[in-house]
Amino acid sequence: MKLGLIGCGKMGRALLEGALKAGIVKAEDVYVSSRTAETRQALSDELGVNAVESNVEVVQNSNAVYLCTKPHIIPLVLVELNEEPECLNDVLLISAAAGLTLETLESPLPHGTRMVRCMPNTPSLIGKGAAAYTLGTHANDADAETTCKLLGAAGSVIEVPEKLMDAVTGVSGSGPAYVYTFIEALADGGVFEGLPRQQALELATQTVLGAASMVAETGLHPAILRDMVCSPGGTTITAVKALEDNGFRSAAINAVSASANKARELGRK
């Protein structure tokens, strides 16, 4: 597969490195664009990919292209690609931009352009991403397969109806940041209770990793797993009450909703 990336910042690079590490693309078959010579040099030195200035050149040399610039830049990129419409004849475009609808993505492009809207997350960098996608109007079964192969190389992938993409942004697109905050806070608690910072961080990180793996590997509902570790009148149920007293659950729900609303707002601009 010949893969392209327009925008190779935090998210684009995570998706690219995930695909390279999984071996589904070879570095010499990858074209990425960057406006700055320094970044192009770094991408080519560090990853061995072809780094070019022109977004059109990326599309001309690819079967599938991730659109990974900030959402407000994507319309400018689409205008640029539309100036050389023949480059869009035989390529799949996969937008990772928060909020931008398929209608916004497809309408400036020639009729028939194959588009997918996806929402990945940055743990893709280490093959532990969580992504969702929606097929555009002209995307076909082979495009669904390509999308699953690319996103699947960097973690787990599900298909959702487009109306749920902003909810996905709230849960998994922005989710790593909530979890980093929780890990840090858990470690802070340990430090408050006297643990050295490094040990507190190690315990907190492994606890989140272990608990997440328990949910994933046992398939049990998190509430069942939590009940299993809360002995009557014990330390853990006392701590769970403290979390509930402080609005932990509604803070998480509100965070997801705030991110989804922000994505909707980006889509309206």
Ligand X SMILES: NC(=O)c1ccc[n+]([C@@H]2O[C@H](COP(=O)([O-])OP(=O)(O)OC[C@H]3O[C@@H](n4cnc5c(N)ncnc54)[C@H](OP(=O)(O)O)[C@@H]3O)[C@@H](O)[C@H]2O)c1
Q: Return residues touching ligand X (CB under 6 A).
A: 6-12, 33-36, 39, 55, 68-71, 73, 76-77, 96-98, 119-122, 173
Sign of torsion over alpha carbons 69, 178, 128, 189: positive
Closest to ligand X by CB, 203 or 252 = 252
- How far apart are CB 134 and ligand X at their closest, in Å? 14
Residue 7 assigned ligand-binding role:
yes
Q: Which residues of 233-262 are buried (b: 16+ CB within 10 A; e: fewer)?
A: eeeeeeebeeeeeeeeeeeeeebbeebbeb
Rounded distance between C-alpha atoms, residue 251 and residue 184, angstroms: 16
- How far apart are CB 141 and ligand X at their closest, in Å? 25
- How far apart are CB 263 and ligand X at their closest, in Å? 8
Closest to ligand X by CB, 7 or 190 = 7
- How far apart are CB 215 and ligand X at their closest, in Å? 22
Residue 11 assigned ligand-binding role:
yes
Q: Give Cα 20 distance to the centre of its chain.
A: 16
- How far apart are CB 116 and ligand X at their closest, in Å? 14
Residue 61 assigned ligand-binding role:
no
Rounded distance between C-alpha atoms, residue 141 and residue 130, angstroms: 21
Residue 128 assigned ligand-binding role:
no
Closest to ligand X by CB, 164 or 230 = 164
Rounded distance between C-alpha atoms, residue 124 and residue 19, angstroms: 9
Beta strands in 34-147 (DSSP E): 50-52, 64-67, 92-95, 114-119, 129-135
Residue 9 assigned ligand-binding role:
yes
Residue 55 assigned ligand-binding role:
yes
Rounded distance between C-alpha atoms, residue 14 and residue 154, angstroms: 8
Binding-site residue ranges for NADPH: 55
Binding-site residue ranges: 6-11, 34, 55
Binding-site residue ranges for NADP(+): 6-11, 34
